[in-house]
Structures are given as C-alpha cells and as structure tokens.
Amino acid sequence: MGRGSCGGSFGRGVTFSRPAGRRTFQPTAMAQFVRNLAQRAPELVNAAVTYSKPRLATFWHYAKVELVPPSPAEIPTAIQSLKNIIRSAKTGAFKHLTVKEAMLNGLVATEVWMWFYIGEIIGKRGIVGYNV
C-alpha cells in the first residue's frame, strides 16, 4: 500500500519505508518504535517465558542427574576407577578394548578437557582472547 504501514503493528503506521526524497530515518520513527517496544515489553517477556519454561524443565530434569558435581561420597569410587585405568595401562589390558570403546573413551576425555577451556574463559573474563 505504497508508504502504508506493514501490518499496523507499529502503531501509527509510520514504518521503515523511506519517504520519497529522503534517504534517512526520521528520528520520530525510531522514537515511535522504541516506545512501542517498551509498551509491548511485558507481552514479549511473557511469550519468552512461556516458550522457555518447558525447555528449561527438560534441561533441569537431565542436568540434575548428569551435570551435578560429585558428592564427597563418590570420590573414593572415582579414585578407584582411576586406579583401574592406570592398572590397565600398566598391564597392557587396554589393548583389548574394541575400537568403538576406545573412540567413546576418547570422546569422553575430550569433553572433560573442554571443561578446562570453559573454566579458562570464566577465569579470564572474556570469550576470545585476554582483554588486557
């Protein structure tokens, strides 16, 4: 509809269509957009919450079991598993692993090592590079 509004969702119909002869945003259009956004903020927030709630619930459901840090009671078990690994390395029993098992172990080890890099990101307070 020529310079009409695109769907009326921007209130007064002033949209981002360029008026003939002008090549820039008129400041009032931007102000109108910001005002509209501020007015509709509660419903946007609501929509975001409704979308994320079930997904957060699923995430929490799995994270509670899988991502929880080890409790002090589990540490002896962990040390025992470590000793098993060292023993298998010493006796050469690791050569009897199938390739599939070895690959899975490699993947798990890689994932554990990646947590180190995530820790480094947290420690250096920047995602890429040290912002000194």
Partner 1 sequence: MVPPVQVSPLIKLGRYSALVLGMAYGAKRYSYLKPRAEEQRRVAAEEKKRQDELKRIERELAEAQDDSILK
Binding site for partner 1 (CB under 8 A): 58, 61-62, 64-66, 68-70, 74-75, 77-78, 81-82, 85, 108, 111-113, 115-125, 130, 132
Q: Between residues 41 and 82, which has the closer beta carbon with respect to partner 1?
A: 82
Residue 109, amino acid: A
From the CB of 113, what's the least distance to partner 1, in Å?
7
From the CB of 49, what's the least distance to partner 1, in Å?
22
From the CB of 87, what's the least distance to partner 1, in Å?
14
Q: Between residues 62 and 98, which has the closer beta carbon with respect to partner 1?
A: 62
Rounded-to-integer distance, Cα 32 and Cα 8, Å: 13
The sign of the CA dihedral 79, 101, 119, 55 is negative
Rounded-to-integer distance, Cα 18 and Cα 24, Å: 7
